[in-house]
Amino acid sequence: MVLADLGRRINSAVADVSKANVVDESVISGLLKEICNALLESDVNVKLVSRLRNKLKATIDAQDKPGVNKKKLIQKAVFDELCDLVDCHQSEIFKPKKKQTNVVMFVGLQGAGKTTSCTKLAVYYQRRGFKVGLVCADTFRAGAFDQLKQNATKSKIPYYGSYTETDPVKVAFDGVEKFKKEKFEIIIVDTSGRHRQEAELFEEMVQIGEAVKPNQTIMVLDASIGQAAEAQSKAFKESSNFGAIILTKLDGHAKGGGAISAVAATETPIAFIGTGEHVHDLETFSPRQFISKLLG
């Protein structure tokens, strides 16, 4: 089920409660069942769904006292629990500082939207007065440097890369050093997405991380990736210990639940969401705003 349908289905389950003459155990149990089925069909991890169900039931039971408007209570409890699902309660999201060098390393699978998101983030900070540079450390995929160069040129962002150097660690290091010398404030390092063997990719992330010592590492995750998101995100977490996530392609027909589960599994906040292919299609993420929008 795509995200928009998930929102509609949860809304309609809550509306059914509002329409009921008496909100008894069977109405509440029907609501819980419908919400859980909708979440499962959207690829949200079964353990998370079960936890949400228990918490939701416990909140409703605990707060259901004489004089309390039960329908309102249920509405609020559903909203709060959905927020909790996408909120890992870590407010420590990277805040780059002016007049300092902030190195930001991007990791993620090929096709997730890394190169696109690198440019989006560069533009985001450039518009806020930072001096931003982009480094292409993807020497694996032919055309990766050209893609970054094209995006960067269009957005007037200085860039660094190499057509001849095959060692991504060296390119990353040289690029960061160059921009550091030129007093750039944010240096964004784009990395490779896939290798012949995954182990090699994760080893490469460790090495690039050691070479450029990022102040922040961001994992780019495709919202439509499904259940596979969790294992991949955990592997990236181990190799690069990313501290923030950019969830991409939320404008499309993403189920979203797999990615949401991955976010919960890595206990890492979503910093931004990608809402289109255009360079300005990047929004800061707020759990409450996201759920409000989901529920329309």
Q: Which amino acid is at 139?
A: T
> In the complex with ligand GDP, which residue's Cβ is closer, 158 or 193?
193
DSSP class per residue in 75-96: HHHHHHHHHHHH----------
Provide, rounded to whole angstroms, the least separation between the CB of residue 146 and ligand GDP. 11
Query: How are beta strands 270-274 and 282-284 bridged, if at all?
Result: antiparallel
> In the complex with ligand GDP, which residue's Cβ is closer, 96 or 276?
276
Could you tell me the CA-to-CA distances from 267 to 84, 112, 115, 239 in Å, in that order?
A: 12, 20, 24, 15
> In the complex with ligand GDP, which residue's Cβ is closer, 101 or 275?
275
Stretch that binds ligand GDP, among 15-23, 103-111, 205-213, 260-268 (CB under 6 A): 103-111
Rounded to whole angstroms, the Cα distance separating 216 from 96 reads: 9
- Give the burial class of 92: count Cβ atoms within 10 A of its Cβ; 0-12 exposed, 13-18 middle, 19 or more buried: exposed
Stretch that binds ligand GDP, among 21-29, 106-114, 122-130, 180-188 (CB under 6 A): 106-114
Position among 42, 45, 116, 268 found at the interface with ligand GDP (CB under 6 A): 116
Residues in Cβ contact with 1 at an 8 Å cutoff, skipping those fewer than 6 apart: 9, 38, 41, 42, 255
Provide, rounded to whole angstroms, the least separation between the CB of residue 71 and ligand GDP. 37
> In the complex with ligand GDP, which residue's Cβ is closer, 87 or 222?
222
141-145: which pairs have CB atoms within 8 A and are 24 or more residues apart?
Answer: 141/110, 141/192, 141/193, 141/194, 144/115, 144/190, 144/192
| Binding status of residue 255 toward ligand GDP by CB under 6 A | no
Here's the x/- map for ligand GDP, 149-178, by CB under 6 A: it reads as ------------------------------
Stretch that binds ligand GDP, among 18-26, 72-80, 104-112, 195-203 (CB under 6 A): 104-112
Position among 3, 81, 113, 216 found at the interface with ligand GDP (CB under 6 A): 113
C-beta of residue 168 within 8 angstroms of C-beta of residue 204? yes
Rounded to whole angstroms, the Cα distance separating 156 from 154 reads: 6
Position among 102, 115, 240, 261 found at the interface with ligand GDP (CB under 6 A): 115
Provide, rounded to whole angstroms, the least separation between the CB of residue 79 and ligand GDP. 25
Sign of CA dihedral 151, 154, 158, 159: positive
Here's the x/- map for ligand GDP, 176-205, by CB under 6 A: it reads as -----------------x------------
Stretch that binds ligand GDP, among 8-16, 67-75, 203-211, 274-282 (CB under 6 A): 274-282
| Binding status of residue 7 toward ligand GDP by CB under 6 A | no
**Positions in the binding site for ligand GDP (CB under 6 A):** 108, 110-116, 193, 220, 248-249, 251-252, 274-277, 281
